[in-house]
Amino acid sequence: MVKEKNLYRIRENTLLGGVSTGLSDYFSIDLVLIRVIFVATSFATFSAVFWLY
C-alpha cells in the first residue's frame, strides 16, 4: 500500500507563511535548499523580465 502525501503549510519555522517549510517536508529536501532555489529563481526571472522589457 502506498502512503498518500499531502502538500500543506507548516506554521513552525516559517518566514512568510510556511510555504517553503511545507515544500521541504513534502519533497524531503532541506529547508535552506528550498529557500535558495526560491531566491535564485526570483532573481533569474526578474532579470529576464527586465532585459526583455
What would the pLDDT profile of 3-47 be if each residue is shown by its tens digit? Answer: 777 777 777 766 767 788 888 888 889 989 988 988 888 888 877
In the chain, the number of structural domains is 1
- Look up the domain containing 15 and give its range: 1-53
Q: What is the mean pLDDT of residues 45-51?
A: 75
Give the residue with greater pLDDT, 50 vs 4. 4
Residues with Cβ within 8 Å of 33's Cβ and at least 6 positions away in sequence, in order, are: 24
pLDDT at 48 over 70: yes
- What are the backbone angles phi and psi of residue 12, rounded to the nearest 5°? -90, 145
Residues with Cβ within 8 Å of 44's Cβ and at least 6 positions away in sequence, in order, are: none
Supply the pLDDT for residue 53.
65
Q: Please state, in angstroms and rounded to a whole number, the distance separating the CA atoms of residues 34 and 23.
A: 8
CB atoms within 10 A of CB 34: 19
